[in-house]
Structure 1
Amino acid sequence: MYPCCLRKRSLLIISCFVILLLSCIAFTSDCCFSRSISSLKTLYLDGHFEFEDVHHASRDFGNRYQLLPLAVLHPKSVSDIASTIRHIWMMGPHSKLTVAARGHGHSLQGQAQAYHGVVINMESLKDQNMYGLTPKSWTDYLHLTVGGTLSNAGISGQAFRHGPQISNVHQLEVVTGKGEVVNSSEKQNSDLFRGVLGGLGQFGIITRARIALEPAPIMVKWIRVLYLDFNAFARDQECLISADSKFDYVEGFVIINRTGLLNNWRSSFTPQDPLQASLFKSDGKRLYCLELAKYFKLDKKDAINQEVNESLSELSYISSTLFLSEVTYEEFLDRVHMSEIELRSKGLWEVPHPWLNLLVPRSKINTFAEGVFGNILTDTSNGPILIYPVNKTKWDNGTSAVIPEEEIFYLVAFLSSAIASSSGKDNLEHILKQNQKILEFCAAACLGVKQYLAHYTTKEEWRAHFGTRWETFVRRKFTYDPLAMLAPGQRIFQKSASYS
């Protein structure tokens, strides 16, 4: 045994060594950052880099992860993006710089962030106006960038008819992980084209997209009805997305243990029978809301009303809960943004959003509903739960997007907001545990569920997510982004790491 003085001296030497080692690491890191910044400053660009005020690029809509980048690029041209990526590519595998494209920052788990890397502010590129035209396929929330939605899929209530956004693209301009600007389509560079669509930003940054458009309608007949029975609700939804559907938009949502529901609707919707509606009580019930929309021009209003009434007569909803509204097409498309404005005014928008989005095969949706709604979930006070079916035939199976194998599957989206509780309860932790219970239930029941806007932390989980498509995904990564520089926030690959 050492004398006491010797032990103290040994501990002192070890402590000094650790401090010296940490100082050396910090010094080396600072030197690397300084060299990276100096290197980026040598680039000739139409836009500019920001190295100081970069905190805005370390946050996103999910509001759970904050990863500070080294720099933010504000491009004024596609050439700025290509030059920056090519420069970092030429720096080789020893450079730790990574690159993330950030549009409106609507990602949930830090997917658009790049820790000590370069975030490209895609909003700096000029927008193209579409006068009198509208995309055939769009998302419920429009304040997003096209590149961001195409990197995932882009789903909403009209996807049953036109497919997701990625099924309505004619051509893409992409900057690959080598800094190459490549035009792609089904006939030109088709492997890159299909890989980028739903590719989670792994193979290139979308800088231009030619998408399918159509003349914009003028007005929308907007309808909500309620069901007590899930089987009837699902049966009607599936009937409505059939080939002869009379509606342009079909969605639904789940309501558990909410009060004053119909009174909340009256500011925007009118009950068809006010007296019957006033007698309906929603307290404590588990309800399923079917939301429909029919687009029309003013000179066709009478014919549209007759068509809608005929279609509604074939459904099995609670008759006293038929609520209608007529709004302009622009108002309907911007409906979620109106809710955002209201929440922002109350300070309830910039809170954590631990969303969970699932794609559930049709054959398992009843099992899912029975196990989750009213069992794992006891109320919907944390945010809406969307649920609606889509047709697989409207999806291009060659893209990178992962979907269930069945011909019809449901999107089920738990759009929770972790608002601070007055009782001091950790609402975020509660929602995360709830989400985990849902995933564990799906796994235990072998439902064949796939995550949409997926988030995993290990390669094994990503391999399981992609299944038989994993090898193709890896091949495309090695081909178009061999140093794994792009979209590090997805946590699929690590720069310069093995992909096998």
Structure 2
Amino acid sequence: MPNILILSSILSLLITAYPNALPTDITNGIRTDPDAIRAASNDYGNLVHQVPSAVLYPSSINDIVELIKASCCNYSTPFTIAARGRGHSVRGQAMAGGGVVVEMAALSRNGGGIRVSWSRSLGYYADVGGEEMWADVLRVGLEHGLAPVSWTDYLYLTVGGTLSNAGISGQSFRHGPQISNVLELDVVTGKGELITCSRNMNSELFFGALGGLGQFGIITRARIVLDKAPARARWARLIYSNFSEFTRDQERLILTNASNYVEGFLITNERTTKQWRSSFSSPSHQSDVASLWKKHRLLYSIELVKYYDNLTASTIDKEFGVILEELNFIPGFIFRRDVPLVDFLNRAGNLDDGREELEAHPWLNLFIPKSRIHDFYDGVLENMIPKLRKTPGLFIFYPLNTKKWDSRMSAVTPDEDVFYNLGLLHSGRPNESDVFELFNNQVLGFCEKAGIKVKQYLPYHKSREDWIKHFGSKWSIFQQRKMEFDPKMILSPGQRIFN
């Protein structure tokens, strides 16, 4: 149960600080019941548990404004505040132990917070509430024949949540991360100010909030770039046994821009071959991949997609064939599908069915400079991963173009033209998490010893020194923006950067 004295103090502050201006709805929207507290004390990672004193279910953006004002204007004891989207952080980043968690989903109107528009200067765009899910952005956009150009692999995440990190997937090599495709934001800062910002208006807040890990404000609206939506996706999985050919082909694909999506995967043990038993391929294909894995003990896969519509349907076979001719996958190990765009983008489905409460997800996501990927292969992929006996989950490995990222934004990448995203998406029972945590620390330790300057994506660091190292040359401006927009360090305490 939450500390009732702390809760009473918070409620007292809310009422005392703004006796006339504080809406009644904000107190009506604050919950302290066990169900609300329990939900706000956990996340997808199932590793960190921090109990808030209260949870706000806002009925309007103004409720968030007033909540933050009540904290930042209390000169003696400000309380911390964290925005929670769909709870898909894995290290407690959306928690506020002893503070107040804002359940952004309470604002959602099932896509009603998404408005599609067009202007001569901007083209097509969508104004989207920060609480809305990308699955709904896709659905509403397609009603107009439009869609965003950059995605995450899982669509049941909130717009505000992914933009606070970066938002990456196999489209990012071509269009950049989701933060590179935003025209405007509304942000409630740590001062309780609702500010509209863009590249040319209140730009420090705009660039700070994009990839800013929630440190400068809560994103309540984003103006997202839209483009004409393709109708279908020609989709292939290719198998490799040679790491150099696997990476060389991925780099060729992202540099030619001939495809729309490129992601690489590691096939690390026989269990991971089971993913091939799907509508994508037959059980015999799974058997073929499993047999090949037994021979090599580590395989690689490239997923490759090219979009098309009715106007290009007559040429897609030839165009896709030209792309494949340049690649060096194992002959015969190519598996193909042709699906509607929605089926491809929503290939992961909706996993929020309660099963995550039974699992722990001690993930590690790294950006690795291209110049060191073979050193990383020697130390980690070849010598460490085969020794990991537990069910590994999903391991992702694919390249991205730095030129598609805006260096003025808070998100950090290695200082090279091309870098690789490695996602060690472990999954197992909570009592197994220590095994994966040890493995992750060994990977980080190897990189440190070998001088491989990796950057964590969805970062988790335990000390101020590690955060300073993480941001590197951006630390100074990151700290300045914190003092400007959240001087009392109220927001996103779960990130452990300033709190």
Under a length normalisation based on structure 2, what TM-score does the superposition of the two structures give?
0.86
Give the partner amino acid of 2:246. Answer: F
State the secondary structure of the residue aligned to 2:403: helix
State the secondary structure of the residue aligned to 1:471: helix
State the secondary structure of the residue aligned to 2:382: coil
Q: Distance in 1 between matches of 2:163 and 2:290?
A: 45
- 2:195 paired residue number: 182
**Cα pair 1:258 1:381 within 8 Å, conserved:** no
**Cα pair 2:276 2:285 within 8 Å, conserved:** no
In the alignment, does 2:153 pair up with 1:140?
Answer: yes
- 1:214 paired residue number: 227
In the alignment, does 2:90 pair up with 1:108?
Answer: yes
Moved more, 292-301 or 387-396: 292-301
- 2:106 paired residue number: 124
For residues 101-120 of structure 1, give each alpha carbon's deviation from its aligned partner in whole angstroms, at most 9, with x where no partner exists: 00001001101000111111
Moved more, 347-356 or 119-128: 347-356
Give the partner amino acid of 1:447. Answer: I
For residues 13-72 of structure 1, give each alpha carbon's deviation from its aligned partner in whole angstroms, at most 9, with x where no partner exists: xxxxxxxxxxxxxxxx75443221233366315462112232111111111111111111
In the alignment, does 2:268 pair up with 1:248?
Answer: no
Q: Distance in 1 between matches of 2:392 and 2:480?
A: 41
Partner residue of 2:497 out of 482, 492, 495: 492
- 2:66 paired residue number: 83
- 2:42 paired residue number: 59
- 1:474 paired residue number: 479
In the alignment, does 2:160 pair up with 1:150?
Answer: no
**Cα pair 2:240 2:300 within 8 Å, conserved:** yes
Q: Distance in 2 between matches of 1:400 and 1:157?
A: 21
- 1:330 paired residue number: 342
State the secondary structure of the residue aligned to 1:456: coil
In the alignment, does 2:53 pair up with 1:70?
Answer: yes
Q: Distance in 2 between matches of 1:321 and 1:45?
A: 63
- 1:268 paired residue number: 279
Give the partner amino acid of 1:470. Answer: W
Q: Distance in 2 between matches of 1:400 and 1:276?
A: 45
- 2:458 paired residue number: 453
* Deviation at residue 359 of structure 1 after TM alignment: 0.2
**Cα pair 2:189 2:486 within 8 Å, conserved:** yes
- 1:36 paired residue number: 10
* Aligned residues: CA RMSD: 2.2
- 1:414 paired residue number: 424
* Deviation at residue 299 of structure 1 after TM alignment: 4.8
**Cα pair 2:71 2:78 within 8 Å, conserved:** no
State the secondary structure of the residue aligned to 1:86: helix
Give the partner amino acid of 1:97. Answer: F
Q: Distance in 2 between matches of 1:208 and 1:492?
A: 24
State the secondary structure of the residue aligned to 1:281: helix
Q: Distance in 2 between matches of 1:485 and 1:175?
A: 12
Superposed counterparts of 1:281-320, under 5 Å: 281-283=292-294, 285-320=297-332
* Deviation at residue 155 of structure 1 after TM alignment: 0.7
State the secondary structure of the residue aligned to 1:300: coil
In the alignment, does 2:183 pair up with 1:170?
Answer: yes
Q: Distance in 2 between matches of 1:259 and 1:88?
A: 50
State the secondary structure of the residue aligned to 2:213: coil
**Cα pair 1:45 1:80 within 8 Å, conserved:** no
Give the partner amino acid of 1:485. Answer: I
Q: Distance in 1 between matches of 2:300 and 2:286?
A: 21
In the alignment, does 2:379 pair up with 1:371?
Answer: yes
Moved more, 38-47 or 172-181: 38-47
Q: Distance in 2 between matches of 1:471 and 1:259?
A: 45
**Cα pair 1:61 1:350 within 8 Å, conserved:** no
State the secondary structure of the residue aligned to 2:204: helix
Cα 1:277–1:63 change in 2 (3 A) is closer
Larger Rg: 1
- 2:359 paired residue number: 351
- 1:14 paired residue number: none
Q: Distance in 2 between matches of 1:279 and 1:391?
A: 33
For residues 104-145 of structure 1, give each alpha carbon's deviation from its aligned partner in whole angstroms, at most 9, with x where no partner exists: 010011010001111111112233143332111110011111
Give the partner amino acid of 1:451. Answer: Q
* Deviation at residue 280 of structure 1 after TM alignment: 5.6
Cα 1:147–1:232 change in 2 (3 A) is same
- 1:394 paired residue number: 404
State the secondary structure of the residue aligned to 2:327: coil
**Cα pair 2:30 2:57 within 8 Å, conserved:** yes
Q: Distance in 2 between matches of 1:348 and 1:154?
A: 21
* Number of aligned residue pairs: 453
Q: Distance in 2 between matches of 1:455 and 1:226?
A: 33
State the secondary structure of the residue aligned to 2:332: helix
- 1:10 paired residue number: none
Under a length normalisation based on structure 1, what TM-score does the superposition of the two structures give?
0.86
- 2:214 paired residue number: 201
Q: Distance in 2 between matches of 1:176 and 1:354?
A: 30
State the secondary structure of the residue aligned to 2:407: coil
Cα 1:275–1:79 change in 2 (3 A) is closer
* Deviation at residue 403 of structure 1 after TM alignment: 0.6
